Structure 1
Amino acid sequence: MDWKKPLFAAAALLAVAPSMAAASPLEGRWINPKHSVTVRIGACGPTMCGRVVDASPRAREKAAAGGTPNLIGTPLLTNLAAANGGWKGSVFVPDHNIRASANLKLLAPNQLKVQGCVLAGLLCRSQVWTRID
């Protein structure tokens, strides 16, 4: 009967282990430089993603004019995976209704450089987002 206690303890540890995994430094709420859009980044299956959780009326208008009628809830960042000291994935630009390749890099614990590139990386734009929680 003594052999059951260590086995039970090991099984309990394995059951809890996934929840004890360290959170990604990307996780949290981030705001763009104009303070017009807030994105929550978190786990989405095996990768990370970021959805719009708040937006100014002007940002909503611009997105609607570009073909995104409901900006709140829209996934802006998808399929983010660790790569080369940062993260790679896709970024959606709602006011232009386009998807581009994305490169993200933490500049500091509360600063995230988000870069989107089209035309095989020939045309890129970037912003530095600020963590708000």
Structure 2
Amino acid sequence: MRKAIKVLSVATGIAIAGALTMGAAAAADAEGTWARPSGSSQIRIAPCGSALCGKLVWLRDKGKKDENNPDTSKRDRSLLGVLTVYGMKPAGENEWRGKVYNAEDGKTYTGKMELITPSKLKLSGCVLGGLICKGETWRRVK
């Protein structure tokens, strides 16, 4: 009987450890749909090759165009569906580095993402090799 209880307690410990590990892995998952603090748009982060990319999947102003794009042939296109985050590769625990396209000024910046909590993702665009960064914290959309 004691042996059975001991085996059961070891099995329970393994199950709990496995659940905690799975929870930690889920917490480190930046994939999903995220809303900007302004509520003006939502971006879906998903794998693209060996990196993560983010595409605009919802806009409050559905008719908004990519009017500041440096490529004049793209200024008439809808922003809906445009990749704004791309090439994000792991750069540490819950951190990724890549590129960020800012449709508001038409510029592409060195970017970084950091998963703060399972429901908060900080995205920053940087200049001067990452010395000056500006970012915002997005919330996960359920």
> TM-score higher than 0.5 here?
yes
Q: Which runs of no fewer than 5 residues in structure 1 stay unpaired?
A: 1-21
Residue 108 of structure 1 corresponds to 117
Deviation at 1:65, TM superposition (A): 3.7
Structure 1 CA distance for aligned equivalents of residues 127 and 59 of structure 2:
24
Q: Which runs of no fewer than 5 residues in structure 2 stay unpaired?
A: 1-24, 70-74
Deviation at 1:76, TM superposition (A): 0.6
Name the aligned partner's letter for residue 79 of structure 2.
Answer: L
Residue 90 of structure 2 corresponds to 82
Structure 2 CA distance for aligned equivalents of residues 58 and 75 of structure 1:
16
1:7-42 per-position Cα deviation (integer Å, ceiling 9, x unaligned): xxxxxxxxxxxxxxx776011100000010100000
Structure 2 CA distance for aligned equivalents of residues 42 and 54 of structure 1:
15
Number of residue pairs the alignment of both structures matches: 110
Residue 139 of structure 2 corresponds to 130
1:45 to 42, 46, 49: 49
RMSD after superposition: 2.0
1:98 aligns with 2:103: no
Q: Secondary structure at the match of 2:90?
A: strand
Counterparts in 2 of 1:11-90, with a 5 A limit?
Answer: 25-57=29-61, 60=64, 64-67=66-69, 68=75, 69-85=77-93, 86-90=95-99
Deviation at 1:121, TM superposition (A): 2.2
The two structures have a TM-score, normalised by structure 1, of 0.74
Contact kept, 8 Å, 1:36 with 1:59, in 2: the verdict is no
1:31-75 per-position Cα deviation (integer Å, ceiling 9, x unaligned): 000010100000111111000001121892xx5442343110100
Structure number, greater radius of gyration: 2
Name the aligned partner's letter for residue 135 of structure 2.
Answer: S
Distance 1:59 1:114, change over 3 A: farther
Percent identity, aligned pairs only? 30
Distance 1:59 1:38, change over 3 A: farther
Q: Secondary structure at the match of 1:33?
A: coil
